[in-house]
Amino acid sequence: MESNLKKRFSVFMWLSILFFLFVILTFPQWITFFYPQPHRDLVFSAAYEYGIDPYLVFAIIRAESKYQSEARSPAGARGLMQIMPETACWIAEQQGISDFNPDELNNPETNIRFGCWYLASLKQEFAGCVPLMIAAYNAGRGKVNEWVVNKKWDGDLQELEKIPFAETRRYVRNVIKNYKAYRAIYAGS
């Protein structure tokens, strides 16, 4: 009986070691399942055009739509980067696009380009402070400017609890987690 138990334990130990080695040796391959790069060429093209880190774009897409180009929020935000139709119309106007239709937000190319343009405008407004950019993407630039001016939150990741909106606190945490993961997985390759 004791010999049988030792054999089982030995087999279990060897299987555990093999599994551990498999995980370590294939880490980059299996982790990409959880952090894919959908529409990679579109993301990289638009991100570079507007001076945005493409991994931040992927992090936002993951948080906003879970990579679903037809996603629609209860508030009406649409597409991969969950852009509100009013915001999209403003972006189109800023870009000199006169015949924009909000239904185009379900088109990945339009959605990603508009999302990257918007992030670039937030980057400029918030002097490249990524946490403030992310918060503004969620809560709106006006609210985040208000928080900064009233010294409620200055973008410090160590003080996320100071963000007045619980939803925005969770959103910033989630996008930062996604962003760190994307950078760790892909930035070196």
Domain coordinates of the chain in residue numbers?
1-30, 32-186
Phi, psi of 99 (to 5 degrees): -110, 35
Q: Tell me if residue 125 is catalytic.
A: no
What's the pLDDT tens digit per position in 100-153?
Answer: 999 999 999 999 999 999 999 999 999 999 999 999 999 999 999 999 999 999
Q: Measure the CA–CA gap between 21 and 54, rounded to whole angstroms.
A: 31
pLDDT at 25 over 60: no
Please identify which of the residues 2, 49, 64, 125 carries the catalytic annotation: 64
Nearest to 95 by CA among 120, 129, 124: 120
pLDDT (0 to 100) of residue 41: 98
Residue carrying structure tokens 């380009």: 113
Q: Could you tell me if 126 and 104 are in contact, meaning their C-beta atoms sit under 8 angstroms apart?
A: no
Residue 126, token pair as written in the block: 């918030």
pLDDT tens track for 155-178: 999 999 999 999 999 999 999 999
pLDDT tens-digit map of 68-103 = 999 999 999 999 999 999 999 999 999 999 999 999
Q: Pick 32-186's CATH classification: 3.20.190.10, 1.10.530.10, 1.20.1440.130, 3.90.1300.10.
A: 1.10.530.10
Could you tell me which of 95, 92, 70 has the C-alpha nearest to residue 80? 70
CA 56 from chain centre, in angstroms, equals: 5
